[in-house]
Structure 1
């Protein structure tokens, strides 16, 4: 490239460094020739931490047979050189359908909302601009922030998103990947990862006070939180994916003539059933347009079927959530044989019980195990697995014995559940007996133990399956209340991550769902929650805050007295034989 001045503007003037005579004039064939011979020159070299090119691996050698000779440079046809530059540019350009579709959706929403590009640019120059964007296209919530972070499409950047449910800081700019990036606050719109109203309000106040841009993106109706929607500077709304959008994408890939030849096929596509990911899967450069059209039609039909099946599943899930009962209601139903106070069978109770049984039979498996307490006839038995007989548990044992007293008062109606300490985080090295403690607590309190683990939850195929397993596990615990919910490997849920990290929306949704289940937004009266972990530092701080697993007790490795107590517990009366001297057993010194 050489610089040239045209009408007072400094521009770049490109010319080929290879012999244009190798090109045939067939654009498709010439693009492929460029990729075959010069692909190494179409890829940007890696950079170090200071933005300088790293010449490892080395820059590819220039092919000798394609080199342009200096002697014939002046004699080369300018038209041929211009054509060669065009071929190189097109050979190195790989259109990505998903960002293109995202931009087209955004442009359509701007036109529909009467907002010009000049309005957006002017607002971005101001401190603390607030944008509310609602476009009904599946996948748009994630696609737009990624487009903002990964490209320079938005002026006054580059940008780095900070999730509103993440540990937000007061920095207007952040040093990321060897460059400064302007921070924007990304407000989640989905119900699974939306913070509470109070938490959202606090983060918005901090962001706006510091001049940070705020972006709320929703792909559903009424998805943008009210605090953002009522205070936004620009509100964009769009209908989502339609046939016009698909035609525009196909035109960008295949040209206008191909789209006109197949306009009738495009008109028959069920565009509203497609997602942004579907567009990227079906429309790929290099494949025939008919293949893309067939794929779009098939994916739309498949999504309609999946949505129908999902609605049926949602109805079953709603039914499961309706069967939540208080402990007193459960004890009242289980204490008798189905008769009322006058000795007659209660028809309504029997009908309700049958309905509950039917709904329970439709519940999806959660992978949890319900363990009933072992009846303890002889409370003085040393070997009975109870908290009272455990050795080396220290503060955990004290907590359990206090809970036993409080539970008795709660069942007697003398103590409210909210006044009890019912949530515990138990940590310690592997093999220190965290699972044993849960089994012993089950026997001491004489309540069922619902045992599960984060790895069991993560066996769900999709995110909604994982979140459903989490919710259904708590629902199972509520059905057993009063009971103990034991969550092993709770550190596997991880920490909430910045929006710029890969798969952050997946892990943030999991953490937020656990917070929702623990903090009382879902009623947990009668459910004692015990989480176990080998790595407490890997747990999100919000999980350990007040109202959640706020009581943290560490179980250390056993010392000598503790080991003696453990042996005494397991050996029982055989301990005297083991510790007896050889003389007493007839041995020899």
Structure 2
């Protein structure tokens, strides 16, 4: 193992143990005081438990801490968006252990240092995937002639741009995870923001009870990559704010041209080879074990392995021979899958794209494009690279409802027609609809441009408050078709490109019905953009980004009124509610007593007189 790889692995273990000590302080297992040494602020840790429980044997003491104090080494529970759930108190202290006072003096400093070291070791969980990712990064730095000093100097600058291309399956997701989750990169910690259509203006963000430096992560995969114009705008905005930019690719031509031409650091690596496997095994098992089995390492088909293969085959505590056998078997399986194209296609058809890696998604997309004669593709690419839309013939799942005739005959019937004018309890939503009705008349008469109208609305409220009823009434009041869809309908697509096609085709169908209303139910189901290191973040970020793109496009399309409905407005991405999109947000409350009476009167119609008639009128006793 070379000096750079060895240093980076030691540094990774150091920052991981430091994170364990800080977690132990938050949970009350350790105490910390600060002092200034040679102008540097230094933290001094002390155990909150009596260190006399320890024997001095590192292995036995580490196991003792895990057996008795494991609750103090666990991170706080997280919600669906990766944020820690606040707890009211620290874990319960074991009754059979004496808690040590923070002010208690202990002259045996060696025992105190041993106790702190044992706590850090007990909570430290070496993970093979970050180690392998770091080794790949070190190899790319060596190959590209970039030193740690150079890398640190660029990181200190405002708005640095990095391009990293390493030929290892899974590297696109693994590197952002390494940067965010380990704190190994200086001048952090960092949180990644995907390159999308509404970039956050904050240079620093409050995440997981700490401030993190925002990094703009540019997707390299063709599925999630924004258009050139959109990416240029995001880069301009990020660099103007001083935000770092990172583009990671698993191919040498996958980095977008805007990043590749303007980057400050360009790293290129060859990927997984036998030398990397040997270094990884040395970090886990030691150099002597690797030397004893070097002949077995040489026989491994390293080029067929992925980062996930390394993580599931090599595990601390597992015999090295078992790891070697697993690596050889996984490499053989991967090689067979690549050689057997038909088997790979059939196996891929049974898996949803959400569980595939970026390289698998690109492979699936290329197969779809290469077999257009066997099945209909949503888009096709000509020899000149122009995309021809053939997706308009694919079903979208949307339902088109025509308005009821606008005449006065319904006013005399037992049940009057559903109109916004006859609704009660809608407050600001009713005012918005009536104002839109007047504006639409002026627009159709050529007196008002579409851009001056308020045509985007987000309706929220508890279930049963009539959000869908409002959309149906709006259709009758405006006398325009109502195109009804929902996020769950979009997500019925089998693969990601099917989902995105359904979304785009729904908006296209609405444009063909213009002027019309596009009603999107359960819009909170699209979720919020997450850090690129989160599981399946690229899938959900692509869905949110597509909605943002379509809403922007709808602003420039005359005749499309977009109404979104949700029970949980707090679960909607902030960018969806910004200016130009669903910027008008109206909450429909639960009806009060007078409103309930009006609703009953509306539905009963002429039967109301019979219901409210006195007993004398129907033959009862006065």
- The TM-score, its normalising length taken from structure 1, stands at 0.66
Give the whole-Å Cα distance in 2 for the aligned partners of 1:163 and 1:206.
Answer: 16
Shift of 1:193: 7.0
Shift of 1:166: 5.7
Give the whole-Å Cα distance in 2 for the aligned partners of 1:48 and 1:92.
Answer: 10
CA contact (8 A) 1:516 1:522 kept: no
Question: Structure 1 residues 580, 507: closer, same or farther in 2, change over 3 A?
Answer: same
Give the whole-Å Cα distance in 1 for the aligned partners of 2:519 and 2:460.
Answer: 13
Q: Does 1:372 align with 2:407?
A: no
Q: Does 1:566 align with 2:599?
A: yes
Alignment equivalent of 1:291, drawn from 322, 326, 333: 326
> Which residue matches 1:146?
177
Instruction: Please list, as runs of the form range in 1=range in 2, the aligned pairs for 1:397-412 lying within 5 A after superposition.
Output: 397-404=430-437
Residue aligned with 1:293, SS: helix
Shift of 1:520: 1.4
Instruction: Please list, as runs of the form range in 1=range in 2, the aligned pairs for 1:28-67 lying within 5 A after superposition.
Output: 40=67, 46=73, 58=94
Give the whole-Å Cα distance in 1 for the aligned partners of 2:246 and 2:604.
Answer: 64
Post-superposition CA distance 1:1-34 (Å, at most 9, x none): xxxxxxxxxxxxxxx95689xxxxxxxxxx9x99
Instruction: Please list, as runs of the form range in 1=range in 2, the aligned pairs for 1:108-147 lying within 5 A after superposition.
Output: 108-126=139-157, 128-147=159-178
- Count the aligned residue pairs: 488
Residue aligned with 2:152, SS: helix
Shift of 1:585: 1.9
CA contact (8 A) 1:105 1:135 kept: yes
> Which residue matches 2:562?
529
Alignment equivalent of 2:487, drawn from 450, 454, 467: 454
- Please provide the CA RMSD for this pair: 4.8
Shift of 1:515: 1.0
> Which residue matches 1:96?
127
Question: Structure 1 residues 585, 300: closer, same or farther in 2, change over 3 A?
Answer: farther
Give the whole-Å Cα distance in 2 for the aligned partners of 1:467 and 1:247.
Answer: 42
Question: Structure 1 residues 520, 239: closer, same or farther in 2, change over 3 A?
Answer: farther
Instruction: Please list, as runs of the form range in 1=range in 2, the aligned pairs for 1:235-246 lying within 5 A after superposition.
Output: 235-241=266-272, 245=276
Question: Structure 1 residues 529, 157: closer, same or farther in 2, change over 3 A?
Answer: closer
CA contact (8 A) 1:470 1:514 kept: yes
Question: Structure 1 residues 572, 183: closer, same or farther in 2, change over 3 A?
Answer: same
Question: Structure 1 residues 220, 406: closer, same or farther in 2, change over 3 A?
Answer: farther
Post-superposition CA distance 1:8-61 (Å, at most 9, x none): xxxxxxxx95689xxxxxxxxxx9x99988864997953999xxxx88555999
CA contact (8 A) 2:418 2:473 kept: yes
Residue aligned with 1:132, SS: strand
Question: Structure 1 residues 108, 560: closer, same or farther in 2, change over 3 A?
Answer: same
Question: Structure 1 residues 44, 226: closer, same or farther in 2, change over 3 A?
Answer: farther
> Which residue matches 2:521?
488
> Which residue matches 1:189?
219
Alignment equivalent of 1:311, drawn from 362, 366, 380: 366
Question: Structure 1 residues 531, 288: closer, same or farther in 2, change over 3 A?
Answer: same
Moved more, 573-582 or 34-43: 34-43
Question: Structure 1 residues 262, 523: closer, same or farther in 2, change over 3 A?
Answer: farther
Which of 1 and 2 has greater Rg?
Answer: 1
Give the whole-Å Cα distance in 1 for the aligned partners of 2:274 and 2:509.
Answer: 45
Shift of 1:258: 3.6
Moved more, 493-502 or 231-240: 493-502
Give the whole-Å Cα distance in 1 for the aligned partners of 2:421 and 2:127.
Answer: 64
Alignment equivalent of 2:608, drawn from 559, 569, 575: 575
Shift of 1:370: 0.7
CA contact (8 A) 1:46 1:55 kept: no
Give the whole-Å Cα distance in 2 for the aligned partners of 1:126 and 1:259.
Answer: 43
Shift of 1:249: 4.4
Give the whole-Å Cα distance in 2 for the aligned partners of 1:297 and 1:141.
Answer: 23
Which 5+ residue runs of structure 1 have no aligned equivalent?
1-15, 21-30, 62-88, 323-354
Give the whole-Å Cα distance in 2 for the aligned partners of 1:378 and 1:92.
Answer: 74
